[in-house]
Amino acid sequence: MGQKARLAAKGMAFAPTEQKNAALECIADHIKVNACEILAENEKDVREGIEAGLSEAMVDRLTLNDGRLHGIISDLSGVCKLPDPVGETFDESILPNGLHVRKQRVPIGVLGVIYEARPNVTLDVAGLAIKTGNVAILRGGSETIRTNTALVRVVRQALVETGLQVDAIQFVNDPDRAKVNELLQLFDYIDLIIPRGGAALHQFCRENSRIPVITGGIGICHLFVDESTDQDAALEVIRNAKIQRPTVCNALDTVLVHREIAANFMPRLVSKLALDEVTFRAHENAFPYLSKYRSVELAGPNDFDTEWLSLVLGLKVVEGVDEAIAHISQHSTGHSDGILTKDNGNAERFTAEVDSAAVYVNASTRFTDGGQLGLGAEVAISTQRLHARGPMGLRELTTYKWVIHGNYHFRE
């Protein structure tokens, strides 16, 4: 598979934009035509996952339905409409010696993407890889093997029909976990490993890969409600960040509330979200405001370091922006953190000092998403600093080369 991928990468790197867009449109058409088959295979995966005792969050992640398929088709159409970054030039200059220098975007090459549960990742990665002239070897989790097999069959059919390299998208359909380690050793053929899953998968890839790894997608996300906030508006933002889709990495995990408004705001927050069946883990300094509520229990020692992926929310009282920033620095995974405020000074301090991939002022953390931020889709959300940070869209799947034009220059 590695050898096939490397060969396919040579052809994909020079594929014209029109042909790549045609492939994406063809994939979208085939998803519509084959929707019943795809959903039937997914139903088998979901049923088996429930029987195997998968968590509610994991089952939600692996589930496809008409609405989610429509969203995937919409994302593919969105990627079609975006500019192709391959060949884009930037940082152009003429040096004092007359050399004309520029940087030019090129595909990264071959991506190894290892992921759990979410079959939408299969199509997100395939679409973005094709648009950027990259090649991908996909290794989805065993819990979605039927769904992923059906989806990859559709993608490869579209590649054939549009004249692109069929091996631009390959799928490891063996659920044996040893295959993950085997994939991590293919340094001659794979240029970048992108794991999407839990902390254990990320750690395994970091420790065992002979190929560079981009990690991310684990979110312990915070919102700080300061004393100046519009409390009614803040409640709506918090509700959206927590319940709109609680099983994903940009869902809210902890709310920090300024002491000056805690006595009024925290009971309002608990009363409102309890209607959505949210339960709460309150820090010892927040618990006295909330002890009468059945949905609130005292936070345990590890609760503020937990990505809940469910309808659980941590609560803590802080003295001000300094303590909020300190708490986030200690407990955040650097994914998505925000402040709800009318105070521009607090907003500026927060955005300057909170070192996360996405930092929000008066907005839900749920916007940390390639589609929501205008990227069309995403291959991952990076929480590291090298090469890419935050949602990884088209540009983040390119690197660049220097192009230098001279007039028979030679160095003295």
Q: What is the pLDDT of residues 79-124, one digit of tens each?
A: 999 999 999 999 999 999 999 999 999 999 999 999 988 899 999 9
Residue 230 within a domain: yes
Residue 193 within a domain: yes
Work out the average pLDDT over 237-259: 96
Cβ atoms within 10 Å, residue 208: 14
**Per-residue pLDDT, 57:** 81
Residues 6+ apart with CB under 8 A from 290: 266, 267, 270, 280, 282, 296, 315
Same domain, 69 and 6: yes
Q: pLDDT for 316-373, tens place per residue?
A: 999 999 999 999 999 999 999 999 999 999 999 999 999 999 999 999 999 999 889 9
Q: Band of the pLDDT at 44, cuts 50, 70, 90?
A: very high
Same domain, 147 and 169: yes
**Per-residue pLDDT, 217:** 75
Cβ atoms within 10 Å, residue 200: 9
Q: Is the pLDDT of residue 390 over 80?
A: yes
Residue 384 within a domain: no
Q: Is the pLDDT of residue 49 over 80?
A: yes
Same domain, 191 and 245: no
Cα–Cα distance measured from residue 144 to residue 152, given in angstroms and rounded to the nearest whole number:
12
Same domain, 167 and 235: no
**Per-residue pLDDT, 42:** 97
For the chain, report the end-to-end CA distance as a whole number of angstroms: 47
CATH at residue 53: 3.40.605.10
Q: In the block, which residue shows the tokens 């820090």?
A: 283
Number of domains forming the structure of the chain: 2
**Per-residue pLDDT, 51:** 95
Cα–Cα distance measured from residue 258 to residue 279, given in angstroms and rounded to the nearest whole number:
21
Q: pLDDT for 58-75, tens place per residue?
A: 898 899 999 999 999 998
Q: pLDDT for 252-294, tens place per residue?
A: 999 999 999 999 999 999 999 999 999 999 999 999 999 899 9
**Burial class for 185, CB neighbours closer than 10 Å (0-12, 13-18, 19+):** middle
Residue 387 within a domain: no
Residue 373 within a domain: no
CB distance 225 to 264 below 8 Å: no
Same domain, 198 and 253: no
Domain coverage including residue 50:
2-214+392-405
Q: Band of the pLDDT at 177, cuts 50, 70, 90?
A: confident
Residue 337 within a domain: yes
Same domain, 172 and 63: yes
CATH at residue 233: 3.40.309.10
Tell me the pairing of strands 252-258 and 221-225: parallel
Query: Nearest to residue 123, comparing CAs of 166, 164, 71?
Result: 71
Q: pLDDT for 3-16, tens place per residue?
A: 999 999 999 999 99
CB distance 154 to 31 below 8 Å: yes
Q: pLDDT for 114-132, tens place per residue?
A: 998 889 999 999 999 999 9
**Per-residue pLDDT, 207:** 94
Residue 386 within a domain: no
Residue 347 within a domain: yes
Q: In the block, which residue shows the tokens 């608990």?
A: 270
Query: Nearest to residue 216, comparing CAs of 335, 73, 115?
Result: 335
